[in-house]
Chains A and B, each alone.
Chain A
Amino acid sequence: MKRIKEAFEKKPDGLLSIFVTAGFPNLNDTVEILKELEANGVEMVELGIPFSDPMADGPVIQEASGVAIENGMTLKLLFEQLKDIRKEVSIPILLMGYLNPVMQYGYEEFCKSCQEVGIDGVILPDLPLYEYKKEYKELFESHGLANTFLITPETAPERIKELDSLTNGFLYLVSSSSTTGKKSGIDGTIDYLSRVKDMNLTSPSLIGFNIKDSESYKIACKYSNGAIIGTAFIKAIMNSNNFKITVKDFVSSIR
C-alpha cells in the first residue's frame, strides 16, 4: 500500500504503469521483465494472474493468459518466483486477475502470500463491491494490500464517489466501454474523462484500456495521474528474445 502512495507522491503527473501477464511469454520471464521495467523508469507494474476464461479481456490478453497457463503458471508458482523480488525491485507491484484462482488459493492464504513477497495491491474486477466491503476489506488492509476499483463511462457519479472513498490505492479509469485492447484510441471518451476529472476526487487515478502509444498516453495524463498499458506491451514482448532492448524501446516509444 505504502509504495503505491509514494509512487503517486513522487510522480503525480504522467505515472506509467505496465500490465503484463505472469508467466508470459515464457514461464520464468516475469522477474526479468519486472527488473527491466523498473530500470527503464516505469513507476508501477500490474501482474496478471492467468485465468482460463478472461471475460473482460480482448484477444491479445486472452492469448497471453492461455500461453501462461500452458507454460504452467499458477498463483503458487508465481509467489515462489517473487519470493526475493523486493531485493531487486522497489516499484509497487499489484496483482490483477479474476476471482476464481484467488478463491481456490484461499483469500487469507492469498493475502498472506502477497504480504510475504511484498505485493502492494490487488485489482480483482469481478469481486463485487458488497462482498469486498462485507468480507474482505479488513483482510486486505491488514495485509497492506490496496484495493483498486474500476470506473467506466457508464459508472454513475454517486458510485464513483463511493469507490473514491473506499479505495486505498487508486481509481482505475477504464477509458471506454470495452474489453482490453479493443478500441482504436481514447479520444472518443474525452467528455467522460473530463467529467471525472472535474469531480476532484480524493484518490489518485490512472487511465487504462486502449492506451497504446505516446499520443494516447499523453491524453490520459491530461485527465488523470497517468496511464496503464497492457495489450500494447504484451504485443511488444510476445516475440522478444531480448527484454533489455524490447522494454527499453517500448518505454521510450511512450515517453
Chain B
Amino acid sequence: MDYNVDENGYYGKFGGAYIPEMLYPNVEELRENYLKISQEPEFKKEFDDLLRNYVGRPSPLYLAKRLSAKYGAKIYLKREDLNHTGAHKINNTIGQILLANRLGKKRIIAETGAGQHGVATATVCALMGLECIIYMGAVDIERQQPNVKRMQLLGATVVAAESGSKTLKDATNEAIRDWINNPADTYYIIGSVVGPHPYPDMVARFQSVISEEMKWQLEEHEGRDYPDRIIACVGGGSNAAGCFYHYLDNDKVELIAAEPAGLGLETGKTAATTAKGKPGVLHAAKTLLMQTEDGQVVEPYSLSAGLDYPGIGPMHAHLFDSGRGSFKYVTDEEALTACFELSKLEGIIPALETAHALAVLNQLDLKKDEVVVINLSGRGDKDLETLIKYI
C-alpha cells in the first residue's frame, strides 16, 4: 500500500483538486512548479539555512523522565514548541514563502484557526517584506486575542471571517474567495495538509523535517532510527503529517492520530472527523467530512481553535481508511487534564491542540521499554486565557 500522494494528487481515494475554473491557473502553476522549485539546490540551501538560523532547528528530542515514569514507557517529546513563533507551523510557511518569492508573487494571504499559522505567515512576510492578509474567524479572533495582536505587530492585516460558524472553515472560505478575486499577484499559504493538490503534499514535505530529524535523533538516543509509536494531534493534520512522513512505510511504527472529541463523540459538539465524517468534498479536496445527510457541512466544535475543523487532510483520511493510522478521540476535559499534567511534571506548558496528543497516553497499553514520541507541536502561551479559567 502506498501512503504518499500518487501522480494524480490522490491518497487512495482521497485528495484531488476540486477547484472552480477561477482557481485552475493558480493551482496548476503551483502543481507544475512545487517539486521542481523545492528540489533546486539553491532553494534547499536557503530553506535549510532559515530553518537552522531563523527558526532554531533542529528542535530537540527530549526524553521526558517524569512523564515516562508515570506512564511506564520511554516517552520522548519532539519539541516543535521551541521553534520561533512557538509551533511547527513555521516550517511550512518558510517553505511556501520561498516558493512564492520564486513565483514572483507580491501579496500573501492565509487562513488561521488558533492564530499559530497566521502568526507564522505574518512572520515570514515580515522577513521577506511582503504584504500579508490573514483571514480569521470572528469567533477565533475573540478567543485568540494575543495571536491577533502578534499578527498586527508583525505588520499583517487581520480580516474577520463573519460567515458560517466564524471559525477556521469559514476563514478558509474567505481566503479562497480572496484568491479567486486576486489570481495574478497573490499567493495563498495554506497552513495545513488540506486544500487542493498539491497543497497537502507540499505542506507535508515542508513539515517532514520533523521526522527527518527524529530519525537521527532516535539513532543517537536509542541506537535505532525509529520509535514504536508516534502520537500527534490532528485538526487538518500538518504536524501529524510531518512527524509521520518518514515512517509511513515502516510497519514497525504505530502512527497514532489524536482527534478532538470536543464535549464527547455523541454530544453533537465534536470535531472528530474520522469518527463522525464520511467522504465528501470541502475546500477543493475529497476527504472525510462531518456533514448532514444532504451534504451540508456540520459546524465542528473543539475547545482548541486549532483543531476546530470539520474535515481532515486527505493523507490522514487515507491512513484511517487503510488502517495504517490509529485514530484516538480526546475530549476537551481530557486535553485540559493532560495540559496541566505536562506543565507540572515536566515544566512545559503545551498548546491545547498538543494536549490532545498527550492525553492519548491514558488510552494506550504501554510497555516499559517501548519508545514513544509525542510531537509537541506548540506551546501553550496563546491559550493562557482559556487555561486560567480551569486552574
Contacts and interface: CB of A to CB of B under 8 A. Distances in A.
B183 interface: yes
Contact of A56 (B25, B180, B289, B293): B180
Nearest to A153: B183
A59 B18 CA distance: 21
A217 interface: no
Interface in B285-314: 289, 291, 293-297
A103 to B, nearest CB: 6
A108 B311 CA distance: 25
A146 to B, nearest CB: 17
Interface string B327-355: 00000000000000000000000000000
Interface stretch (B63-71, B81-89, B276-284, B377-385): B276-284
Interface in A176-196: 177-179, 182
Contact of A55 (B183, B283, B289, B291): B283
A230 B261 CA distance: 40
Q: How large is the interface on B (under 10, 10 to 19, 20 to 34, 35 or more residues)?
A: 35 or more
Contacts of B322: none
A172 to B, nearest CB: 9
A156 interface: yes
A10 interface: no
A128 to B, nearest CB: 6
A76 interface: yes
Interface stretch (B123-131, B169-177, B239-247): B169-177
B323 interface: no
Contacts of B16: 128, 131
A103 B183 contact: no
A54 B170 CA distance: 10
A209 to B, nearest CB: 9
Contact of B295 (A103, A174, A177, A179): A103
A200 interface: no
A104 B22 contact: no
Contacts, number: 112
Given A150-B20, A150-B22, A101 B180 contact: no
B174 to A, nearest CB: 9
B163 interface: yes
Contacts of A76: 294
B19 interface: yes
Contacts of A246: none
A104 B21 CA distance: 22
A149 B20 CA distance: 10
A50 B164 CA distance: 13
B39 interface: no
A53 B282 contact: yes
B216 interface: no
Given A103-B295, A125-B20, 14 more contacts: A52-B164, A52-B296, A53-B297, A55-B176, A56-B180, A75-B295, A100-B291, A100-B297, A105-B295, A125-B21, A152-B25, A156-B25, A177-B182, A178-B181
Interface of B: 8, 16-22, 24-26, 163-164, 169-170, 173, 176-177, 180-184, 279-284, 289, 291, 293-297
